[in-house]
Structure 1
Amino acid sequence: MARKRENTVSPRTLFSPYARLFAVPGARSFSLAGWVGRLPAPMLGLGAVLLVEGETGSYGLAGAVSGTLALSYGLAGPQWARAMDRRGQGRVLRLAMLAFALTGVAFVAAVTADGPRWSWFLLAAASGASGPNIGSLVRARWSALLDPVGRQTAYAFEAVADEVVFVVGPPLVTLLATLIAPPVGFLTGVFFGVVGGLWLAGQAATEPPVHPVDATAPSRRRSVLTPTLLVVVVTYLAVGAVFGAIDVVVVGFAEEEGAPALSGAALAVFAGGSLVAGLVYGLARLPGTLAARFVGTAVAFGLAAQLLWSVGSLAVLIGCGFLAGLTIAPVLVSGTSLVESRVSPGVLTESLAWTITGLTLGVTAGSALAGAAVDAWGAQRAFAVPALAAGLAALLALAGAALLRVPHPADRAPVAGPLVEDDVRG
């Protein structure tokens, strides 16, 4: 009995790495603000699909508009991040949130008033471009406060926070759009984004240090676009295509099955599986290098998504979605950790934003392709789009493995602690 007690690990001990994260002053506040600020991520894309499809009956047009929003968000994210690295998160965030609120409301007004189609695309692009990637801002704060071991736990926690957003967001936006009115879902996402962004902007004590432009330093572009970052971003293009396609196909499939209100719940199942995997990944001390973990998790992601070929009912979709979701958080955490381990502090936020850009560019392609596939083939056959995209992600990671084995000169790993900046510059 005594031996059994000795070998028993209490939940409190098991989750103590997460508890230590929030012993850091200010961590609870900036992490919660970041979580609220990320709610637009699942709500705006799906909200745009529901809004446009409700007005026009076309999934192709809905996917194209939603993809345009995601595309502009992905392209603008690194530009916002670069400005924040140079001028501080708070100053830039306040400006961004003002633009985000105005363009989001204008987009909804154009669609509901049946304005010219070109105005829908223009305002969707403006709305996406006005939203900085909040997740990269929170991760940059963790990176400035923690050592490498703590960062892995923090990044895993942030992946879990991302998945909680994707558990809560799709059912919420679907219910608001179907039970009240399509514009309400989209506008609620805008509201949460503005509240979270302004809340985060007010927390100056945990902001990462500002890194003004140094005219004598090597090219900033070379220090950002490293081989490691390029491999991760290219792989994330395909991962993002899975996410974008799933949003559109699941909505179409639920409607075909006569249960459109369940589309959000079905999407939440994917995030639920990822949430479970993220919690476990953050506690595990895995063997191998960060590069090997990234390639391995990408291959697992590609294989698990092949379950989507078997979807024939909502019950099967829920089962397959949960199993496929178990591979999402690991590939996202491992890629983020790999990039963070090999960049200089002065370009950290921008580098992390580029990984999100890869995802969102993929979302653009995935949502547009899936929308066309649903219109042409029906939703059940359109599950081929996310399945094939996931297989491509695995192949791209394997193809780039040789570039990841040995850090290149541009892949400069920061040292933990207060000496990071001096060590990198020196």
Structure 2
Amino acid sequence: MSPRTVFSPYARLFAVPGSVAFSFAGWVARLPIPMLGLGAVLLVAGETGSYGLAGAVSGTLALSFSIASPQWARAMDRRGQGAVLRVAMTGYLLCGYGFVAAVTAGGPLWTWFALAALCGASGPNIGSLVRARWAEALAEPGRRQTAFALEAVVDEVVFVVGPPLVTLLATLLAPPVGFLTGITLGAIGGLWLARQHATEPAVSPPDPGGPSRRWAALNATVLVVAVTYAAVGTVFGAMDVVVVGFADEQGAPALAGLALAVYAFGSLVAGLLYGVARLPGTLAARFLVTAVAFGVAAQLLWGVGSLAVLVPAGFLAGTAIAPVLVSGTSLVESRVPRTALTEALSWTTTGLTLGVTAGSALAGAAVDAWGAEAAFAVPAGAAAAAALVALAGAPLLRSRPVPVPAA
């Protein structure tokens, strides 16, 4: 497949007025996703020496985000993205700076957890907001798949750029700098997106004869995808902690960010190809196949014994990430009405972040108890669970897509 064949469909997406601005603002606003989780691990571990405590604090931040982000999304479906985003981003910035101040000043441990929770709860799911804008602008399902693949690639670029950046800032300058940089970039991107009113999805009243918005956003398909994504997120949360601990054991802590970036780069490459491929089968079948592939690919992590092995194994395992995320997002988008789409997409990300919470905590405890090399069992086992959950939920995916109105 030539580069022109791969990139032409993506270039055509940006003929949509305003798409360059909202997609780039969404990318900047998503930079905190890997920076805050990893930044919290580096900050707390640097202050206390405990990866278990670091994983618990990082997991608290992710857990509060997962609970609050669908509530922000529901408010945006009802009132529009701009006004709600401005409120959320203000709280996000203040709580993030407060968390760093509490840790570096040696405040009581409960304040660390409380401020981490408030910081996470202030963060709406930016990816779902950008995907909702693409869904509003594009009527053709094939172009929406390409747009969702583009956003999955943007997510992976975030994970390519974020971990090395936060690791270098935290290790070469000071541990708080990485976390603070992530919070600042996230607020800048979120406030920039809030100003772009022309591309916001239209706010429309719910259909009186249809299901309530809440139940439309939490139908069987959304639940299956969200629970599968919870297992996928467990892999992500565990990888952050285990790779940092493993690089530290190997005497090269600064290489943790590079290893995580290579893992994300494998997903980026696969996402670009998946977005332009015209694959056979239904959206549900593609989701099941990609979930199984994700579960199988991550078993490579059992063989990691050095950084030289981790990098190629991580790249190969990473190639299965974007396809399962894109296929799950496309499936949800086809089964949910526009009036509840932002919230439905946020619930899938809630699954991811709940998994990140569990993965961070489990991996932190495993690193402390077993050592980092043995702790790779946590992400490998979680990936296998993702495949099993998707297969178990297959009977619930037998429903008809929701008709999509013309853009």
TM-score, normalized by length of structure 1? 0.94
Deviation of 1:93 (Å): 0.4
Deviations 1:40-92 (A, max 9, x none): 00000000000000000000000000000000011111000000011110000
Structure 1: how far apart are the matches of 2:178 and 2:55? 16
Structure 1: how far apart are the matches of 2:39 and 2:201? 33
Deviations 1:355-384 (A, max 9, x none): 000000000000000000000000000000
Structure 1: how far apart are the matches of 2:389 and 2:103? 38
The corresponding residue for 1:85 is 77
1:383 match: secondary structure? helix
Distance 1:60 1:87, change over 3 A: same
Deviations 1:213-235 (A, max 9, x none): 67775322221211101100111
The corresponding residue for 1:202 is 195
2:17 match: secondary structure? coil
Deviations 1:277-316 (A, max 9, x none): 0000011000110000001000000001000000000010
The corresponding residue for 2:390 is 397
Structure 2: how far apart are the matches of 1:313 and 1:170? 19
Structure 2: how far apart are the matches of 1:260 and 1:348? 41
2:80 and 2:203 in contact (8 A); partners too: yes
Identity of aligned residues (%): 75
1:76 and 1:129 in contact (8 A); partners too: yes
2:76 and 2:84 in contact (8 A); partners too: yes
Distance 1:218 1:103, change over 3 A: same
Unaligned stretches of 5+ residues in structure 2:
none
The corresponding residue for 2:184 is 191
Structure 1: how far apart are the matches of 2:218 and 2:82? 25
Letter in 1 for 2:113: F
1:121-160 matches, cutoff 5 A? 121-146=113-138, 147-160=140-153
Deviation of 1:13 (Å): 4.3
2:226 and 2:351 in contact (8 A); partners too: yes
Deviation of 1:174 (Å): 0.2
Unaligned stretches of 5+ residues in structure 1:
1-8, 419-426
2:133 and 2:201 in contact (8 A); partners too: yes
Deviations 1:252-296 (A, max 9, x none): 000000000000000001100000000000110001100000010
The answer as to 2:404 corresponding to 1:415 is yes
Structure 2: how far apart are the matches of 1:80 and 1:126? 14
The corresponding residue for 1:335 is 328
2:6 and 2:273 in contact (8 A); partners too: no
Structure 2: how far apart are the matches of 1:14 and 1:375? 44
Structure 2: how far apart are the matches of 1:218 and 1:378? 50
Letter in 2 for 1:171: P
The answer as to 2:18 corresponding to 1:26 is yes
Structure 2: how far apart are the matches of 1:347 and 1:219? 9
1:173-252 matches, cutoff 5 A? 173-212=166-205, 218-252=211-245
The one of 261, 286, 310 aligned to 1:293: 286
1:379 match: secondary structure? coil
Deviation of 1:326 (Å): 0.3
Distance 1:401 1:217, change over 3 A: closer
Structure 2: how far apart are the matches of 1:361 and 1:133? 13
2:267 and 2:318 in contact (8 A); partners too: yes
Structure 2: how far apart are the matches of 1:61 and 1:402? 40
Letter in 2 for 1:172: L
The one of 100, 119, 122 aligned to 1:108: 100
Deviation of 1:236 (Å): 0.6
What is the total number of aligned residue pairs between the two structures? 406
1:244 and 1:363 in contact (8 A); partners too: yes
Structure 1: how far apart are the matches of 2:377 and 2:123? 31
Structure 2: how far apart are the matches of 1:310 and 1:110? 39
Distance 1:39 1:107, change over 3 A: same
Deviation of 1:334 (Å): 0.3
Deviation of 1:211 (Å): 2.8
Letter in 2 for 1:392: A
The corresponding residue for 2:363 is 370
Distance 1:357 1:277, change over 3 A: same
The corresponding residue for 1:57 is 49
TM-score, normalized by length of structure 2? 0.98
Letter in 2 for 1:403: L
Structure 2: how far apart are the matches of 1:343 and 1:217? 11
RMSD over aligned Cα, in angstroms?
1.2
Deviation of 1:188 (Å): 0.1
1:158-177 matches, cutoff 5 A? 158-177=151-170
Deviations 1:291-349 (A, max 9, x none): 00001000000001000000000010001000000000000000000000010000000
2:10 and 2:150 in contact (8 A); partners too: yes
Q: Which has the larger radius of gyration?
A: 1
